[in-house]
């Protein structure tokens, strides 16, 4: 069972402003992993992450349409924390949930898309792996 902790909620929610942005990997049509930073990464539900993709023509969105598998990495070297989040991403079109994801993103991310032209994405987690624990669906 996956249940993200309060510490994960707090650390992911402030990762960008703390200087530890989350790195995400998605896979292209040729099977090549592509890495991106997502400062908007946050805990959406106890077993879900969410991101706000500012550019609707983003390569990330194209990649998850073909292969929804994504992996996210949070690392805080000084505190010796490394969490890997694996799951399946999907675009959110429901306006209420879309607004919720935008509002939960850090202010810096929201300020770069004040017109809310971006796309909300939810990641249903299949695994969360840390230095001394593992959670699976």
Walk along the chain (137 residues) and give the pLDDT tens digit of each residue.
Answer: 999 999 999 999 999 999 999 999 999 999 999 999 999 999 999 999 999 999 999 999 999 999 999 999 999 999 999 999 999 999 999 999 999 999 999 999 999 999 999 999 999 999 999 999 999 99
The tokens 């703390």 sit on which residue? 18
Q: What is the C-alpha separation between 109 and 1, in angstroms, rounded?
A: 31
**23, burial (CB in 10 Å: exposed 0-12, middle 13-18, buried 19+):** middle
What pLDDT, on a 0 to 100 scale, did the predictor assign at position 2? Answer: 98
Domain ranges of the chain: 6-136
Are 3 and 135 a contacting pair, CB within 8 Å? yes
By residue count, the chain amounts to 137
Q: What is the CATH number of domain 6-136?
A: 2.30.110.10
Whole-prediction pTM: 0.96
């Amino acid at each position: 069972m996956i249940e993200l902790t309060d510490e994960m909620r707090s650390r992911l929610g402030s990762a960008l402003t703390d200087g530890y942005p989350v790195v995400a990997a998605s896979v292209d049509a040729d099977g090549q992993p592509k890495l991106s930073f997502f400062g908007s990464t946050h805990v959406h539900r106890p077993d879900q992450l969410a991101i706000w993709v500012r550019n609707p023509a983003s390569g990330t969105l194209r990649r998850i349409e073909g292969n929804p598998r994504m992996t996210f990495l949070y690392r805080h070297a000084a505190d010796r924390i490394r969490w890997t989040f694996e799951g399946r991403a999907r675009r959110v079109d429901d306006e209420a949930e879309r607004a919720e994801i935008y509002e939960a993103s850090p202010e810096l991310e929201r300020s770069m898309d004040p017109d809310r032209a971006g796309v909300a994405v939810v990641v249903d987690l299949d695994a969360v792996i840390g230095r001394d624990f593992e959670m699976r669906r």
